[in-house]
Amino acid sequence: MEEIGTLYLIILPIVIGAGILEALWLQRTRHEGYDWKSWACSLGDLAGRRVLGLIPYALAAPYLAWAYDHRLFTLSLDSAWSVVVLFVGLEFFYYWYHRTSHTVRWFWMSHQVHHSPNQLALAAAYRLGWFGRFTGTALFFTPLVLLGFTPTVVLSALFLNLIYQFWLHADWIPRLGWVEYVLNTPSSHRVHHARNPEYLDANYGGVLIVFDRLFGTYIAERKEVPCDYGTVTPDVSSRNPFFLNFMPWVGLFKDVRSARSLAEAWMYVFGAPGWRPGGEGLTTVDIRRKAGLATTRAAQPVMT
């Protein structure tokens, strides 16, 4: 994993510096200014994640080593086709990891930290939460290791995928025409971070947006519906990284403790975020129904 660590140390000052430059520019050019407390929270989250990064990844994802020991083939990046397989495969599994992170509470516990900012900016890109690696997120990419790519190659490719997504958190970049049909763009990602009922649970792609179109989760940004950023639970808008990372788990523990049956306990952990017995919760289906919107949708065309 040394390659990932070296790449991380090279990229880290670049993304932090870009976030600061954007913050200074937004502070001068926007009437509402810039949320520096939110920026500090993102930086604190990043620092905490670096501390936890000292724990060997093998302790958090031992199945990666097991999968490589039982691989079907041995693949390297010495040909164009293997690079394409890695890229498309990673995009496919990233889509399902990301979608599951929004639709299963267990994974949402760590992912919601990334969605907590109420102002979308570049600094939000490195607010990723502290406990993702311990919830089993690497499990989604294990098929690539079983196929024959080394865990280091797969995790390095995932890291590069996340680096691409850094620029997607700039809410001042306009829609990009035909590019919106193929790639994940700032416009698509603004929708992903929005808590408007019209936009919830959409646009899960990493570099590509094609799997959202294929599986019916693409929603285009609409001029008449400005994005309202943050989570649907206002209490998660804190700017304290400790609160953001630990309180969701405290809430989960309280819910499980209050469960009246094993079925309820299961749903609290693995049901949709916001699930409550009797349908009185804050799941996406509940929110869309209360807003008078359809609870299912098909892929939508690009709005220009």
Residue corresponding to tokens 């009437």: 31
pLDDT band at 120 (very low <50, low <70, confident <90, very high): very high
The confidence score (pLDDT) of residue 16 equals: 94
Is the pLDDT assigned to residue 190 strictly greater than 90? Answer: yes
Coarse DSSP helix, strand, coil percentages of the chain, rounded to the nearest 5 percent: 60, 0, 40
Count of Cβ atoms closer than 10 Å to residue 32 Cβ: 8
The confidence score (pLDDT) of residue 36 equals: 94
**Residue 172 phi, psi (nearest 5):** -100, 0
Is the pLDDT assigned to residue 301 strictly greater than 60? Answer: no
Give the long-range contacts of residues 284-292, CB within 8 A, separation 24 or more. Answer: 284/103, 284/200, 284/201, 287/197, 287/200, 287/232, 288/197, 288/200, 290/197, 291/197, 291/198
Q: Specify whether the CB–CB gap between 17 and 101 falls below 8 A.
A: no
The confidence score (pLDDT) of residue 165 equals: 97
The confidence score (pLDDT) of residue 2 equals: 59
Is the pLDDT assigned to residue 63 strictly greater than 90? Answer: no
Q: How many helices (H) and strands (E) does the chain have?
A: 13, 0
pLDDT band at 115 (very low <50, low <70, confident <90, very high): very high
Terminal Cα distance for the chain, rounded: 43
The confidence score (pLDDT) of residue 51 equals: 84
pLDDT band at 31 (very low <50, low <70, confident <90, very high): confident
Is the pLDDT assigned to residue 61 strictly greater than 80? Answer: no
Rounded distance, CA 279 to CA 42, Å?
A: 34
Is the pLDDT assigned to residue 138 strictly greater than 50? Answer: yes
pLDDT band at 298 (very low <50, low <70, confident <90, very high): very low
- Angle 262-270/241-258 helices, nearest 10 degrees? 160
Average pLDDT, the chain: 90
Is the pLDDT assigned to residue 185 strictly greater than 90? Answer: yes
Count of Cβ atoms closer than 10 Å to residue 254 Cβ: 10
Rounded distance, CA 183 to CA 212, Å?
A: 11
Is the pLDDT assigned to residue 62 strictly greater than 90? Answer: no
The confidence score (pLDDT) of residue 299 equals: 42
The confidence score (pLDDT) of residue 43 equals: 95
**pTM confidence score:** 0.92
pLDDT band at 279 (very low <50, low <70, confident <90, very high): confident
Q: Specify whether the CB–CB gap between 287 and 295 falls below 8 A.
A: no
3 state SS of 79? coil
Q: What is the pLDDT of residues 67-109, one digit of tens each?
A: 999 999 999 998 999 999 999 999 999 999 999 999 999 999 9
Give the long-range contacts of residues 24-27, CB within 8 A, separation 24 or more. Answer: 26/121, 26/172
The confidence score (pLDDT) of residue 56 equals: 62
Q: What is the pLDDT of residues 215-253, one digit of tens each?
A: 999 999 999 999 999 998 865 567 899 999 999 999 999
